[in-house]
Amino acid sequence: MSVPYMSGEWIAKPGSEDAFIAAWHAMVEWGNATIDGAAGAVLTRDRAEPRRFVSFGPWRDDAAIEAFRAHPEFRERVERIMPLLERFTVYTLDVVAEVVRPD
């Protein structure tokens, strides 16, 4: 089985972009420090639509993702982020193909 990835699509409310970035960063730092199996994440910003962000990161296994989402503090942190957003969609993904550039 491949390493699972979590991904999210986040649409910030106008003027809330910086606050969203800070809140997302705090949530990921907390997850890395708290949940065994968290492996970090990346937050990207759409150049054409600067209120649209996409996050993604690998996890050790599905149990680690479930522990993250089930943790009471995770819910509290998401509740802090939600007022900053127009829309949020989360995905759990499996790698089905990979191309690595040889060095």
- 35-85 pLDDT tens trace: 999 999 999 999 999 999 999 999 999 999 999 999 999 999 999 999 999
- 18-31 pLDDT tens trace: 999 999 999 999 99
Report d(CA 103, CA 91) in Å as an integer. 31
Closest CA to 56 of 3, 100, 1: 3
CA atoms within 13 A on the CB side of 41: 27
The predicted model scores a pTM of 0.90
